[in-house]
Structure 1
Amino acid sequence: MTDTIATPAAPQPRAAVLDDAHLGDIKGALGTIRVGDDAPRKGISAKLKTLLAIIGPGLIVMVGDNDAGAFDTYGNAGQNYGTSLLWTLLLLVPVLYVNQEMVLRLGAVTGVGHARLILERFGKFWGAFSVIDLFLLNALTIVTEFIGVTLAVGYLGLPKTLSVLVAAVVVIAAATTGSFRRFERTAVLLCAGSLLLIPIYFMIHPSTSTMAHDFVVPGMPHDAKLADVMLLIIAIVGTTVAPWQLFFQQSYVIDKRITPRFMKYEKADLWIGIVVVILGAAAMIGFTAAAFAGTPEAGNFEDAAGIAKGLEAHAGKLAGVLFAIALLDASIIGASAVSLSTAYALGDVLGLKHSLHRGVRGAKGFYAIFAGVILLAAVIVVVPGSPLGLITTGVQTLAGVLLPSATVFLLLLCNDKAVLGPWVNGRWTNAFTSLVVGVLVVLSIILTASVTFPGITSGAILDIMAVCGVAGILAIGYAELRRRRKGWALAAPVDRRGKESWRMPPLDELPKPVMSTGRKIGMSALRLYLLAAMVLVVVHIVQVALGN
């Protein structure tokens, strides 16, 4: 008898996943995929079961952004300007998809959170900056979510203080069970609650032809100040594309244990979320426009509670109640998602165990951060005399100022071959995202100028847009001229063979990134702009607070 010698299997490369709780079965709200399940998905039934198991990250991050602030912004747009700004939602669809697709790609391929990647690839300054500004902005955003709770329960006739505290406890309890699946089932149920906006739409029945026209044909409201309209457009962009989304989805994809193998199902999940969020936003603009048209309240938006009262006057008590419940639902899911993005980011950079698969004992620091920001926001809202209106304004302004930098880092990370290997961006994704960054920078400059100088004129806004446009053209021309002088070729096509099994190596094995002179100049300019813009905004907010 001849002995046979088994050939050892080739060793699997180490991945960079930072927490062992992020390895194992995918345990989604609607299904399970066992670790090592590499069977091909053939047939509609198998593909549908896989999609149901994957659904969650894209849906939650999108619906979570249709939160209390979004209700306020879309209600403002519909009540003050009718359906004339619906087209902004259509333009935001590709922005939402490209941004969040890059994030889910980073999560599935790297196994490392967004904040940690920024820290490791761009240094301590940008790592600290990203986490600190995220923490501050998220804390203020959660305050606005609990303001939404007070508006909803106030209309429903419930005690505000008790309701806010109960909502805070519910949010904390849903996330601290030690079961990822339980949290996701709760979150998906809350996402389903956002569909309450659809029956309100049919109860109010705005003009379908007008809605369809204004959705696809860009236009501006008649007899409206350009400055006011531009600020509202910026608010719509800021409430639909928010910095916390990037940090949340990347970490949540990792926590759900989704790998590149299931990328196409996660993209489908993202599209489902985008459809739900756009339908909800369009419904709010449509039914507020129809309900308030021809009434003394048209053009005099106050808050979401006023919308509920207006819907009641137009279509009956049920319409108002459904809107209030939808607002309460949106505020709770928004508070949950934004708080988790904070806890995930800080857990990443501080080296804390951070996973919903762990119980409180197994991740004390992670859950302490999560519960802490929730309770802090709830207390601020219930304390008499808190400057809630100022906080709401501050959130919208700071989000607009910080969004361009978040997108810049996202774009740079998705072109880092050491991080994404065969998953790096292609030419068209880079071109589109660069255009988006340019537009966001222009909107951010307009927002900063309008906050710093409240009396800014329409002519000044047009001048800012013209100067930024010329500067952008000159920058593109300089870059192309420099490329030709240096003899640099355009980026070669990326070799994407074997990408389904490619994962980023451990962070300590990655080569250090090389910063070109142009990129260093650009990053320095971005740093100076962000610091200057934030100082100007904070100074103005303090002046307003002292004036009040």
Structure 2
Amino acid sequence: MKKLLKNIGPSTLIAAAFIGPGTISVCSLAGINFGYDLLWALVFSIVATMVLQEMSARLGLVTSKDLASVIRIYFSSTWKKLLALSLVILAIVFGNAAYEAGNITGAVLGLDAVFQVAEFSFLNQNINILPILIGFVSILVLALGSYKKIEKVLMLLVVLMSLSFVISALLIAPNWLDILQSIFVPRFPETSLTSILAIVGTTVVPYNLFLHSAIVQEKWKSVSSIKHARWDIFIAIGLGGLVSVCVVIAGAALHTSEITTQDFSSLALSLAPLYGDYATYLLGFGFFAAGITSSITAALAAAYVLKSALNWQGKSGKIYFKLVWILIVLAGVLFSSLNIQPLQLIQTAQISNAIVLPFAAIFLYITVNNSQWMGKYKNNALQKILGLLILLFAVFLGAKSLFFFFL
């Protein structure tokens, strides 16, 4: 057990990334609008995340390269390489900047629900100090420099966040038989398609495919560590999935209620009669932890993608790497301070997800099926079948997301 816990790490960052304000908002609304009926879609998205992240981790350990580097090397044609890398850079970097604003806003909503911090006036402008504080904490954690130190901070926050949402769900005393049935028996309530797409879209995060293939190389140096990486994925992403399930359960307690998570304070106050005044503190801290952990990982992922895509090396590469995550966090603070509704920011970022997820997943799938790249560690028959099913759904998700946005 001690050895197992010692090898937990990279997937904690992945869990921290997808359990953000967007996921909590989507899962809350899924529970509020459809009860337990969409739990099957959530479980499917968690399994899909595990399958794709395992491929990403395996790619990093076998090739000693991350996904962005592989894309840069894979294409021999200059124009194809530029097109592929431009798509990745635009979608990941600008998408993460939009996510960062949603993440920081989510963390602010969590703190504000508990402490109700008043705004102050400066040059005839009302300024909320919380986005600046959240941004400062995110930069402080990233400035630790050591991957292992960042990993430990995020592990602590993810565990505390998980406890917050699990306790919230248990206090409601839900119907466990209905929950199990909803997990294993797919249901498609009327008007639920958008919510199903949103659940999968906020769980299977494309920038995690790039991030995971990079950070496993900092945790482990040998291809024999694939078994550790798989346990890490199963435990950390499983825990993240449990958090999402608990959020749906908490939302289901308000089934048929007219409430939106755009006003998180209202959500906490509405849940309070169900299991006491602790709702505000439990959910407030959970939302804060979700926002700040995702703000750290989104900035880190953007920096890794640019570093690999543009092949930054040496001392200057380290400077550019730091500059990217600083700018991403500052962009998040700026847009969060403009009082834009967090769901609007998150929905904007999901459009970039819709574009890049099929591309990243297809390229990852092709690479890990390739004997030349992966040798004996290429996908086996079961992994090929599961991967193909997930790819088809990713393409469907992307097409539907773009359809809903433009039409």
Query: TM above 0.5, one fold?
Result: yes
For structure 1, the 5+ residue unaligned runs are 1-47, 355-359, 454-548
TM-score of the superposed pair, with normalisation by structure 2 = 0.90
Give the equivalent residue in structure 1 for 2:97: 139
1:95-134 alignment, distance < 5 Å: 95-122=48-75, 123-134=81-92
1:202-281 alignment, distance < 5 Å: 202-221=170-189, 224-225=190-191, 229-281=192-244
Q: Identity of aligned pairs, percent?
A: 23
Q: Which amino acid aligns with 1:158?
A: V
Give the equivalent residue in structure 2 for 1:487: none
Give the equivalent residue in structure 1 for 2:24: 71
Contact 1:308 1:320 in 2 (8 A): yes
Contact 1:63 1:194 in 2 (8 A): no
Q: Deviations over 1:507-544 (max 9, x none)?
A: xxxxxxxxxxxxxxxxxxxxxxxxxxxxxxxxxxxxxx
| Selected match of 1:403 from 357, 367, 384 | 357
Q: Deviations over 1:390-446 (max 9, x none)?
A: 322212233233311111111111123332222111232222212221122122222
Give the equivalent residue in structure 1 for 2:47: 94
What secondary structure is seen at the aligned counterpart in 1 of 2:379?
Answer: coil
Point out which structure has higher relative CO (alpha carbons under 8 A, 6+ apart): 2
Q: Which amino acid aligns with 2:91?
A: D
Give the equivalent residue in structure 1 for 2:346: 392
Q: Distance in 2 between matches of 1:389 and 1:212?
A: 30
Give the equivalent residue in structure 2 for 1:371: 326
What secondary structure is seen at the aligned counterpart in 2 of 1:363?
Answer: helix
Give the equivalent residue in structure 2 for 1:13: none
Bigger share in helix: 2
Q: Distance in 1 between matches of 2:241 and 2:9?
A: 17
Using the TM superposition, give the Cα deviation of residue 230 of structure 1 relative to its aligned residue in structure 2, in angstroms: 0.7
Task: Tell me whether 1:167 sits opposite 2:128 in the alignment.
Answer: no
Using the TM superposition, give the Cα deviation of residue 220 of structure 1 relative to its aligned residue in structure 2, in angstroms: 2.5
Give the equivalent residue in structure 1 for 2:373: 419
Using the TM superposition, give the Cα deviation of residue 158 of structure 1 relative to its aligned residue in structure 2, in angstroms: 2.5
Between Structure 1 and Structure 2, whose CA radius of gyration is higher?
A: 1
Using the TM superposition, give the Cα deviation of residue 351 of structure 1 relative to its aligned residue in structure 2, in angstroms: 2.8
Task: Tell me whether 1:314 sits opposite 2:274 in the alignment.
Answer: yes
Deviates more, 1:439-448 or 1:269-278: 439-448
1:450-529 alignment, distance < 5 Å: 450-453=404-407
Q: Distance in 1 between matches of 2:311 and 2:358?
A: 27
For structure 2, the 5+ residue unaligned runs are 76-80, 120-127
Q: Which amino acid aligns with 1:204?
A: I
| Selected match of 2:336 from 362, 370, 381 | 381
What secondary structure is seen at the aligned counterpart in 1 of 2:312?
Answer: coil
Change (3 A) 1:163 1:387: closer
Q: Distance in 2 between matches of 1:68 and 1:256?
A: 27
Contact 1:153 1:159 in 2 (8 A): no
Contact 1:353 1:365 in 2 (8 A): no
Give the equivalent residue in structure 2 for 1:297: 258
Q: Which amino acid aligns with 1:366?
A: F
Q: Which amino acid aligns with 1:376?
A: A
Q: Distance in 1 between matches of 2:334 and 2:33?
A: 32
Q: Distance in 2 between matches of 1:288 and 1:102?
A: 33
Alignment RMSD, CA only? 2.1
Using the TM superposition, give the Cα deviation of residue 187 of structure 1 relative to its aligned residue in structure 2, in angstroms: 1.2
What secondary structure is seen at the aligned counterpart in 2 of 1:206?
Answer: coil
Using the TM superposition, give the Cα deviation of residue 284 of structure 1 relative to its aligned residue in structure 2, in angstroms: 0.8
Contact 1:106 1:420 in 2 (8 A): yes
Deviates more, 1:419-428 or 1:339-348: 419-428
Q: Distance in 1 between matches of 2:150 and 2:281?
A: 26
Task: Tell me whether 1:187 sits opposite 2:150 in the alignment.
Answer: no
Contact 1:152 1:327 in 2 (8 A): yes
Q: Deviations over 1:135-162 (max 9, x none)?
A: 1111111111012022112212124722
Contact 2:16 2:154 in 1 (8 A): no
Q: Which amino acid aligns with 1:392?
A: I
TM-score of the superposed pair, with normalisation by structure 1 = 0.68
Contact 1:63 1:273 in 2 (8 A): no
